[in-house]
Chains A and B, each alone.
Chain A
Amino acid sequence: MRSKKTMKAKTSRHLEALLFVAPWITGFLLFMAFPLGFSLYMSFHKVTVLPTGLKYDFQGFKYYSELLFGSSALYDNLIPFFQEIVIMVPIILVFSLFIAIMLNQDFPGRMLFRVVFFLPIIFTSGHILTEFVNQGEGTLGFLERFSIGEYLDQFLSDSSWAKPVKDVLNRFVLVLWYSGVQILIFLAGRQTISKSSYESARIDGATPWEVFWKITLPAMSPFILLNLIYTVVDMFTFPYNPVIELINTGNYGYNSALAWIYFVVIVLFLAILLLLFLRMNRSARSR
């Protein structure tokens, strides 16, 4: 009798939860999930737009094999982009953590600085940044000025990494602008660490360096993970990245196949990152 009552309470709680979720999920199913499934369907078909409607001719894996083995267009775009991401993401994370910790210090005008460093959130979406980079303002020009470029060419000449490294250095300012949300997340994360743990560490005679590695960093790890995912996804889905630009050319079936390949690549990449992160976290804990 009693268990029945608790059962009932539990189901009603579940129902209540579903009620909260329902509106969003409805929109999601209609405008995200269904289109996704449909684009998978399209990727196996040749889609022709006729005045009477759309015509689908089954093609099997033709587009997939064409993309993966037929031409190098995918790899030509994907590999340099990957190299750039592998370099950019750690830089963005370290930089935004660094800035967040600085902004958490006590100094006059820190509220103003917080606003300024949060400002990039309104630049990174689309047109403005692209236009800015096209104008050549996105580079610092310091590579030319201090001839770091030539030095790098000598140093990394044999590998295909020289260009991505140079690109990233050149676009140091872009790193600044990519890190608006990340800085915010780290700042919020930093606030969740209680003051008492810092005080007790200071009483025990820990140096600021030790405090950072032993208290701040471990407590921040969920936020580092959040930022890692956010940054990677943000860069992958940036509408002006080369692969997405490639998606917008060609016919619908081909595009859908390309989008799905790209999607699988991102998911795999993130899965590897997550695994690495969890393993590193665990080994840091056990030490």
Chain B
Amino acid sequence: MSLFRRIRSSLSHTWSLYRSDFRNMDATQIFLLILLTLLSVFMLLPLVFIFNHAFKPLHELFLFPPTFFVKQGTWQNFIDLLNASQDTFLPVTRFILNSVIVTVLATVGMVILGALCAYPLSKHPFPGRKVIFGVILLSIMIAVETMGIPRYIVVKNLGIMNTYWGHVLPILALPVGVFLLKQFMDQVPNELMEAAKLDGASEWQIFMRIMIPIVTPAMATITILSFQTAWGNSETSALFMQNDAMKTLPFYVESLTSNLANSVARQGVAAAASLIMFIPNLIIFLLSQRKVIQTMAHSGIK
């Protein structure tokens, strides 16, 4: 009872704070608020859609025109998903475990290696850095789809087929990450680092204590991007894993939905699977958004 009262009093407290804010708004602020609210409705549409879609019973999935909100929610799609996985003799949890291990290793690796690489490219005039950066920039633009066979050859010769390394290593070098981080690091004034150098800081200390904290918003963005790349990656499973027990969740989901693309019955399973694939992205987003947005307010260093 007291908990309830406490919540209520804290709520009314925040409301009273906001109420004065709302009262003191001028015309432009009200206009801004209305406009942004309207636009945010569109921003939130896919979110609402994904959640509703996964709970739709079969007859609602095929309504025309498509409906947005589910009318009679059901867990049937998720139950079907679990049952479908029993035909392969491997429980779906095995794929989830693989995916979690691979995603954690790959995300951490991508962010750390990317930051390490971007720092000298931005702040050290070592010979050949322009060439390296140019090559990175160009490699962003190539379609990864054609690299299947050559990558297979590399992975095979490294002897990492059917291991977690085979999932992680090929995707570690993420050119977009280095590119974004380098552009952000370029904006950090050189004086800051020179001051630290005069105080006797080593390169490593400058990197850890000055560079990383300043570019935290970029780091958090890269974390989200890397996580999505790793979590949604089905290519390494298809190419380098012959052992079914080493395959990951996205590959499994794709194999569930693609070879039965025209099957009506699997549409519900597909919707449930895409919700399951989406939720970790959402969680990572919610965890890192505070870092992205809060630090943005303080990163004005000029």
Interface residues of A (CB under 8 A from B): 13-14, 16-18, 20-21, 23-25, 27-28, 30-39, 42, 47, 54, 99, 102-103, 105-109, 111, 113-123, 125-129, 131-132, 135-137, 173, 176-177, 181, 184, 187-189, 191-194, 222, 226, 229-230, 233, 236-237, 239, 244, 247-248, 252, 255-256, 259, 262-263, 266-267, 270
Contact = CB atoms under 8 A, between A and B. Distances in A.
A168 to B, nearest CB: 15
B285 A121 contact: yes
B145 A244 contact: yes
Given A31-B154, A105-B32, A116-B44, 13 more contacts: A31-B169, A99-B39, A106-B29, A115-B293, A116-B40, A177-B46, A192-B299, A233-B140, A237-B143, A239-B145, A252-B148, A259-B143, A266-B141
B43 interface: yes
B294 to A, nearest CB: 8
B36 interface: yes
B130 to A, nearest CB: 13
A42 B221 CA distance: 36
Contacts of A181: 221
Interface stretch (B5-13, B96-104, B276-284): B276-284
B224 interface: yes
18 contacts: A13-B124, A17-B129, A17-B203, A24-B172, A28-B175, A33-B135, A42-B146, A54-B149, A105-B29, A118-B293, A181-B221, A184-B296, A188-B184, A189-B187, A237-B140, A252-B146, A255-B145, A263-B143
Interface residues of B, number: 95
Which 4 pairs across A and B sit closest by C-beta, in order of nearness?
A35-B150, A24-B117, A38-B150, A17-B120
Interface string B17-31: 010011001001100
B143 A125 contact: no
Contacts of A28: 136, 139, 173, 175
B151 interface: yes
A14 B127 contact: yes
Given A24-B173, A24-B178, A188-B296, A126 B232 contact: yes
B170 interface: yes
A105 to B, nearest CB: 6
Contact of A247 (B40, B143, B151): B143
A36 B147 contact: yes
B121 interface: yes
Nearest to B153: A38
Contacts of A226: 183
User: Which of B46, B151, B228 has the largest number of chain A CB atoms within 10 A?
Assistant: B46
Interface secondary structure of B, over-half rule? helix
Contacts of A24: 113-114, 116-117, 172-173, 178
Nearest to A136: B66
A20 B120 contact: yes
A27 B169 contact: yes
B151 A31 contact: yes
A30 B42 contact: no
Given A36-B139, A137-B45, A252 B149 contact: yes
Nearest to A187: B296
B277 A127 contact: yes
A244 B144 CA distance: 9
A176 to B, nearest CB: 5
Nearest to B284: A122
A215 to B, nearest CB: 13
B116 A20 contact: yes
B154 A176 contact: no
A34 B153 CA distance: 10
B268 interface: no
Nearest to A28: B173
A263 B145 CA distance: 12
Nearest to A175: B42
Contacts of A123: 46
B124 A17 contact: yes
Contacts of B65: 136
A119 B49 CA distance: 14
A108 B143 contact: no
A61 to B, nearest CB: 17
B35 interface: yes
B46 A244 contact: no
Contact of B228 (A31, A102, A122, A229): A122
Contacts of A256: 146
A14 B126 CA distance: 5
B115 to A, nearest CB: 9
Interface string B164-185: 0000011111011010100110
B301 interface: yes
B154 A119 contact: no
Contact of B50 (A16, A47, A114, A128): A128
Interface string B229-240: 100100000000
A35 B152 CA distance: 9
A125 B282 CA distance: 12
B174 to A, nearest CB: 9
Nearest to A113: B36
A173 B42 contact: yes
